[in-house]
Amino acid sequence: MVKNTFSEVSADVPTTGEVDGVGRRTVIRAIAMSGCCLAASGLISASPAIAQAKKVKPEPGQRFAHMAGDKEGQLVVPDDVKLGKPLLAYPMDATTTQVHGSRANLLILMRLNETDLEETMKPHAASGIVAYSGICTHEGCPISGEHENPRMALCNCHGSTFDLGANGKVIAGPATRRLAMLPVAITDGTLVVAGKLNGPIGPPA
């Protein structure tokens, strides 16, 4: 059974951090809509604003901020990241706490069982937590669906499934390109970006 977490995301919660870019509220609205309507609406298409935002990517040393929900804009702590439950987040500067809320920076965090992490993935995970681009490589929907297999993340728009224990490879289409993985670490109890995204984000041009 596949569960949809879209309904758990609210666009009405107050923003507690300083968020840049025009993409954050667009993404929130997109998530509040149902799957196929996202593509038809144009909210998930590669608009000029999105293309411009693709130049901004998470940088090592940044933290993570909740994209939505009761903790919108607040720092993500390791205990916030649950087994098999994709958590949507944005990178946040460590010193200024500015949240980089563009679509290109949308990330998913998820905790995996250590046994579900392939050996090559383990140096890039922290206590089982992995991070990936949160933009589906099919048509650009935000990825927030839970899958019955707790190492998989599901795109609710058309069902693409990605293996977060295996460098984001596609398990089920229509997507054909894997998700870009972002190395993470835990430093002084805080989840931090520990490298660069290891591939392109979103749908192929």
Please compute, for residue 85, the number of CA atoms within 13 A of its CA located in the half-sphere on the CB side: 10
Closer Cβ to ligand FES, 175 or 194, answer by number: 175
Please state whether 168 falls in left (phi above 0), alpha (psi between -120 and 50) or beta: left
Task: Tell me the residue ranges of DSSP E strands in 8-140.
Answer: 19-20, 63-66, 87-92, 99-100, 107-111, 129-133
In terms of CB distance, is 36 or 113 closer to ligand FES?
36
Give yes or no for a contact between 50 and 84, defined as CB atoms under 8 angstroms apart.
Answer: no
The distance of closest approach from Cβ of residue 139 to ligand FES in the complex, given in angstroms and rounded to an integer, is 4
Residue 188 tokens, joined = 């002084």
Give the single-character DSSP code of 202.
S
Distance from C-alpha of 129 to C-alpha of 45, rounded to nearest angstrom = 29
Nearer CB in complex with ligand FES: 9/92: 9
Residue with tokens 């392939």: 118
DSSP state letter for 70: T
87 vs 135 by CB, closer to ligand FES: 135
Q: How far is the CB of 182 from ligand FES (least distance, A)?
A: 19
What's the closest the beta carbon of residue 155 comes to ligand FES, in angstroms?
3
CB nearer to ligand FES: give 138 or 178.
138
* Residue 147 CB, nearest approach to ligand FES (Å): 13
Q: Which residues bind ligand FES (CB under 6 A)?
A: 136, 138-141, 155, 157-160, 174-175
Smallest separation, CB 191 to ligand FES (Å): 25
